[in-house]
Chain A
């Protein structure tokens, strides 16, 4: 059973702080890792993806991947109230195409 695990939260951080969202996965053959943001009542929105071990930065967002530990994380710097949403971690299936999603972490950024 391929699993993607996330802490459901809620994770509460003050405005301006760094939010750290974590995800672990069970399938060692996974190749690609994605972070989506989902506002209540909306569909998921792709934030960024990462394939290689290490860090990948895009604006205020940094994705970190450690394949040996089967761990991927998302850092949000200078968190804003508008970042309050559920963040979904997704991992490529062993077929290499469809994504397997975690249950998401709810983030609350307080003013």
Chain B
């Protein structure tokens, strides 16, 4: 299974600023995803990061707020833009070569907006 390095592990940010989260995979993967997990809650899919094209966003998530890049098969970034306290959450990157291998997760980014 793919091994994912995600950074930063945590950050405290001011309202109105932006934070970019990076996800590096140790091997080429077909699929990369970004999730959000509120404390005590399950995972909500933000978007699928598509290599070389625009990400596919889930209902309730928009590109202006959560721009995503995926320049190659091993790397992706998620930016949380114009942050508000409601954006405080854990953001997780997930990746894999396909459902036949399952998907693994990065260690997560704990974001606090003050």
Contact = CB atoms under 8 A, between A and B. Distances in A.
Interface of A: 31-32, 34, 42-46, 48-49, 51, 88, 92, 96-104
29 contacts: A34-B102, A42-B107, A42-B108, A43-B92, A43-B105, A43-B106, A43-B107, A43-B108, A44-B92, A45-B104, A45-B105, A46-B104, A48-B102, A49-B99, A51-B99, A88-B42, A92-B99, A96-B99, A97-B31, A97-B48, A97-B99, A98-B45, A98-B48, A99-B45, A101-B42, A101-B43, A102-B42, A103-B42, A104-B42
Contacts of A51: 99
Interface string B103-114: 111111000000
Contacts, number: 47
Interface in B25-40: 31, 33
Contacts of A34: 102-103
Contact of B43 (A32, A44, A45, A96): A44
Nearest to B4: A43
Interface size class of B (residues with CB under 8 A): 10 to 19
Contacts of B44: 101
Nearest to A100: B45
Contact of A99 (B41, B103, B107, B108): B103
Given A42-B107, A101-B43, 12 more contacts: A32-B99, A34-B103, A43-B92, A43-B106, A44-B92, A49-B102, A51-B99, A98-B45, A99-B33, A100-B45, A101-B44, A102-B42
B14 interface: no
Contacts of A102: 42
A26 B41 CA distance: 20
A18 B20 CA distance: 43
Report, nearest first, the 8 A-B pairs whose CB atoms are least far apart. Answer: A43-B105, A103-B42, A32-B99, A101-B43, A43-B108, A101-B42, A46-B102, A49-B102
B18 interface: no
Contacts of B72: none
A21 to B, nearest CB: 14
